[in-house]
Amino acid sequence: MVNGVRLQKTPSKASWWRRTLGEWPAVLFFLLPTVAVLGTFNLYPALYSLYLSLFEWNGLSPAREFVGLANYARLLASGEFWNSLRVTLLYAGGVTLLALALGLGVAVLLNQPILGQSVYRVLYFLPVITPTVASGVVWKYLFDPTQGVVNRGLLAVGLEGPSWLSDPSWALAAVVVVGVWKRVGFNMVVYLAALQGIPRAYYEAAQLDGAGPWQQFRHITLPLLAPTTFFLIVTALIDAFQVFDLVYVMTSGGPLSSTDVLGYYLYRQAFRYSELGFASAVAYVMFALIFVVTVVQFRLSRGGGQGEG
Amino acid sequence: MKANWLKAIVTAALALLSLGTAQKLTFWHYWDGANGQVLQGLIERYQKEHPGVTIEAVFVPGGELLTKLQTAITARQTPTMAISDLVAMPLLTRSGALAPLDDYIRQSNLNLADYFPGPLVYGLYQGKRYSLPVSASNLGLFWNKNLFRAAGLDPNRPPRNWDELLRFAKQIKEKTGKWGIELFTQGGEGTTWQTQVYFWGAGAEFLDANNTAPAFNSAQGVRALQFLVDLVQKEKVAPVAPWGLFGRGEAAMVMDGSWMTQFFPQQVNFELGAAAFPFAPGGRPATNMGGEQIFIFQNADVATAKAAWDFINWFSSTPVQVEWDRGTGFLPVRRSVANDPAYRAWVSNARPLMRPFVDSMAFAKPRPPVARYPQISDVFAKYVQEALLGRLSPKEALDRAAQEVTPLLR
C-alpha cells in the first residue's frame, strides 16, 4: 500500500511479465521461507479468525454454531462496543496530538546548542524503550491518590488531585498521560532528524528578509516537517488504536468501562469470557477501522506529503 | 569395545521400552514456588510407592492454563489429568473432554459426604461429577489491632455483625483519622466476590436456585449494597481507592483471603487479628471461596485413566491432604482434614490467624457454576461501582445489572 504510490509507468505490463518469466521459479524459491513463516503464523491465523467470526464458539465445546454475521450484528448493537470505540478514539486522538506537539517542542528545543543536549535527548527517549508493563506498574504508584507523587505534588501547590485511576472521569486522562509519556521521545528523535535535514541557508535567508523566530518556525520549519508529521501521525494512530498492555496493567478497562479500549474489550471477550467467535468479529472490525483511517490519511496527504511513507 | 557399547545401548533402549509399557501420566497444574515443590515431593513418593507409574507434572502459569487446555482439547492432545481454578470448571465440564468420575468414586468408596459442600458444587454437570476439589481458600476479616487500640476499641474483639462493623469503623475514623474499612472498589471479579459475601451475609442469593435467573436484586440484596454504599457515601469510613490501604496501615479492617494469613505478617508493621467475616443482623455467616479442582481427560485409555484415578484417590485421601494443606497453606476441602488433630495443631502453632478461615469452610459458598460467570461478574461489579460512586441508587443499580445478566444465563 505504502510503496504502491510510486509505481513508475512501465511501457507495457504484458511484456514485463514475459521478460521476467524465467526468473519466477527462482524468485518463488527464495521467497518460500518468508512466505511459509508469514503464512503459517500471520496469514493463516488471520484468515482463520475471519472464519471463526462467523461462529459462536467458546473455545472448548465440541460444537461450533454457525451464526453467519450475527456476531457483527451483535457487536454493532452493543453499547459496550460503542463505548470502547469512543474511548479508543479519545485515547488515540489524545496521545497522537499531545505527543506530536510535545515531541516537536522538545525536538526544537534540543536542536539548539544547549548544555547537556545529549543527556536530555537520552532522558526523553528512555520511556520509549522502557517496557510498557513496567511503566504501567510504576505509573500506577505515581497516580495513587494518597501516596502517589502526582497528588503529593499537586498538594504541595495547594491542589487536591482526584483519585485518578479509580475515578471514571479521570482514569482515561491518566492513561493518556502515560501513553504520551511513552510516545514523546520517539516523536522527538524523528523530528530531530528531520530538523537537521533543513538547510541552514533557508533560515539565513529568512533572517535577511527580517523574519523573527516565530515566523521562521511557522513558514520554514513547520512546512518542511510536514512529511515527518504525517508519518508520525499515521504510526501513532495505528499504535494507539491497538493499545492494550497499558490499560491491562493500569486499569483493566475500568472504572466503569471508562478506559475500556477496543484492545482490552477484545481481550475480555476472547480470554475472560471465552467468546472466541465474537472476539474475532471485534478484531475484524478493529482491522477495518485502522485500515480506513490509514487510507483516509494517505488520501489526504497526497498533496503535501511527498517523499515520505 | 564397540560391541559392548552397542549392547549397552540396546539394553538401555529395551529398558526404556519396558518403561513405556508402564503407566505414564501427564499432569498439568499451575502450582508454583513452594506449592509446586510440595506437589513434586508428593508425586515422587507416590511413584516410589507405586512402581510402574510415572507422573510427569507440567507447570503452566496460572493465567495460561485455561487457554492451553482449550488448545489441547481442540487439538485432542490433552494431558492425562489437570487441575483448574474452580471458576473455569463450568466451561470444562461442558466441553465433553472430561471423564466422568462417578464410577471410580463408587468403586473406591470415596466418601463425598466428608467434603465441605461448597467446593463440591463445581464439577457437577447434568448429574455427573467430572472433578474433585483438591484445595480451597476463602475470605475473612483482618483487622489492625494497633488502630483499634488507638481508637479506644478492644484490640482483641473483632466486629461480629454489620452494626458493630459500622460502629467500629466510625470510631476509628473519628479517633485516628484512618479509614474504618477497605473495600475492593476497582471492579471486575475482585469487587464481585467480595460483594457477594455481604449479599450472602444479608440473606440474599446471587442467582436463583437453578442458576437460570439473577436473584441479587432482592430486598436483602438491596440492603447489602445499601450498607456498602453507606460506608462510602454517607458515613465516609471507606474510600473508593486503589487496593492496598489496609496493608499500609491506612485502613483498620479489610476483607481478604486465607492466603494473606501467610503474607500479611511478613508485610505489615502492626499487630494483626483475623476472624470470620461479620454478617448482617438477622443474616447468616457467609464467605466466598476459591480453590482448585482435579480432573481426568476423556481420551485417556482405560488403564491410564484408572492409574490417574488411583493417584487422584491417593492425593485426595485425608493423610495426604493434611500434608498438602500444611505444606501449601491451602484450606482443607474435607472435614476430616479440618478436624485432624495434627492439622489443627499445625494451624494453632504455625498459622494461628488461619483458624477462623478453616472454620469458615463449613459455610463457604460457591460462586454460581455457570459458563458465563466471568461476564456476569463483570456486569455485576460495574453496577456495584456505579452505586458506590453514588451514580445509581442500589436498587436501580441491581435492577439494571439483573437486566444485563438475564440474557447471559440463557
B1, B22, B393 from B11: Cα distances, Å: 15, 17, 77
Express each pLDDT in B323-355 by its tens digit: 999 999 999 999 999 999 999 999 999 999 999
B240 vs A7, more confident: B240
- Which residues does chain B have within 8 Å of residue A273's beta carbon, measured at their own beta carbons? 372, 374-375
On the question of pLDDT at B129 being above 80, the answer is: yes
Residues across chain A: 309
* Nearest CB neighbour to A58, from listed B91, B97, B185: B91
On the question of pLDDT at B149 being above 70, the answer is: yes
* Nearest CB neighbour to B188, from listed A146, A254, A271: A254
On the question of pLDDT at B18 being above 50, the answer is: no
Residue A300 pLDDT: 80
Cβ contact (<8 Å) for B242 and A140?
yes
Residue-wise DSSP of A213-259: HHHHIIIIIHHHHHHHHHHHHHHHHHHHHT--HHHHHHTTT-STTTT
Cβ contact (<8 Å) for A255 and B385?
yes
Average pLDDT of every residue of chain B: 93
Q: Cα(B318)–Cα(B17) distance, rounded to whole angstroms?
A: 36
Cβ contact (<8 Å) for A166 and B241?
yes
Q: pLDDT > 90: what percent of chain B?
A: 90
On the question of pLDDT at B243 being above 60, the answer is: yes
Average pLDDT of the segment spanning B279-302: 95
Q: Which of B257, B136, B139, B282 is nearest to B204 (CA)?
A: B282
- Which residues does chain B have within 8 Å of residue A146's beta carbon, measured at their own beta carbons? 241, 250
Least confident of A7-21, B71-85, B108-122, B306-320: A7-21
A18 vs B314, more confident: B314
Average pLDDT of every residue of chain A: 89
Q: Cα(B64)–Cα(B213) distance, rounded to whole angstroms?
A: 30
Q: What are phi and psi of A53, to 5 degrees?
A: -65, -10
Take residue A13 and report the three cell numbers written for it.
Answer: 505490463
Express each pLDDT in A191-242 by its tens digit: 999 999 999 999 999 999 999 889 999 999 999 999 999 999 989 998 999 9
On the question of pLDDT at A254 being above 50, the answer is: yes
On whether ipTM exceeds 0.90, the answer is no
A69, A166, A250, A261, B250 from A135: Cα distances, Å: 39, 18, 9, 18, 26
* Nearest CB neighbour to B386, from listed A144, A147, A256: A256
Express each pLDDT in A7-60 by its tens digit: 555 556 677 778 888 888 888 899 999 999 999 999 999 999 999 999 999 888
Suggest the residue from B84, B240, B297, B391 to mutate for an interface test with chain A (most A CBs closer than 10 A): B240
Residue B10 pLDDT: 58
Cβ contact (<8 Å) for A255 and B187?
yes
Least confident of A2-11, A71-80, A242-251, B76-85: A2-11
Average pLDDT of the segment spanning B359-379: 95
Average pLDDT of the segment spanning B293-312: 94
Cβ contact (<8 Å) for A256 and B240?
no
Residue A16 pLDDT: 79
Are B193 and B271 contacting, i.e. CB atoms less than 8 angstroms apart?
no
pTM beyond cutoff 0.95: no
Are A247 and A261 contacting, i.e. CB atoms less than 8 angstroms apart?
yes
Take residue A191 and report the three cell numbers written for it.
Answer: 523530528
On the question of pLDDT at A85 being above 80, the answer is: yes
What one-letter code names the amino acid at B183? L
Number of other residues whose CB lies within 10 A of the CB of residue A139: 24
Residue B6 pLDDT: 60
On the question of pLDDT at B134 being above 50, the answer is: yes
Q: Which of B137, B8, B27 is nearest to B85 (CA)?
A: B137
A163, A187, A215, A300, B363 from A191: Cα distances, Å: 35, 6, 19, 21, 64
Average pLDDT of the segment spanning B79-92: 95
- By CA distance, what is A62's nearest residue in B? B95
- By CA distance, what is B370's nearest residue in A? A273
- Which residues does chain A have within 8 Å of residue B378's beta carbon, measured at their own beta carbons? 268, 272
Express each pLDDT in B154-207 by its tens digit: 999 999 999 999 999 999 999 999 999 999 998 999 999 999 999 999 999 999
Within 13 Å of residue B36, how many CA atoms lie on the same side as its CB? 14
Cβ contact (<8 Å) for B95 and A61?
yes
Q: Which residues of A249-272 are buried (b: 16+ CB within 10 A; e: fewer)?
A: bbbbbbbbbbbbbbbbbbbbbbbb
How many angstroms separate the CA of residue B115 from the nearest CA in chain A? 28
Residue A11 pLDDT: 58
Residue A63 pLDDT: 80
Residue-wise DSSP of B173-225: HHHH-SEEEE---S-HHHHHHHHHHHHHHTT--SB-TTSSSB-TTSHHHHHHH
Confidence class for position B21, pLDDT limits 50, 70, 90? low
Q: Which of B251, B273, B21 is nearest to B142 (CA)?
A: B273
* Nearest CB neighbour to A252, from listed B91, B96, B188: B188
What one-letter code names the amino acid at A190? V
Q: pLDDT > 70: what percent of chain A?
A: 93
Residues of A with CB under 8 A from a CB of B: 58-62, 140, 144-147, 163, 165-168, 252, 254-257, 268, 271-274
On the question of pLDDT at B19 being above 60, the answer is: no
On the question of pLDDT at A116 being above 90, the answer is: no
Q: Which of B196, B120, B176 is nearest to B373 (CA)?
A: B196
A272, B286, B329, B398 from B197: Cα distances, Å: 22, 6, 22, 16
Take residue B152 and report the three cell numbers written for it.
Answer: 479506644
- Contacts of residue B195, Cβ cutoff 8 Å, sequence gap at least 6: B224, B225, B228, B380, B381, B384
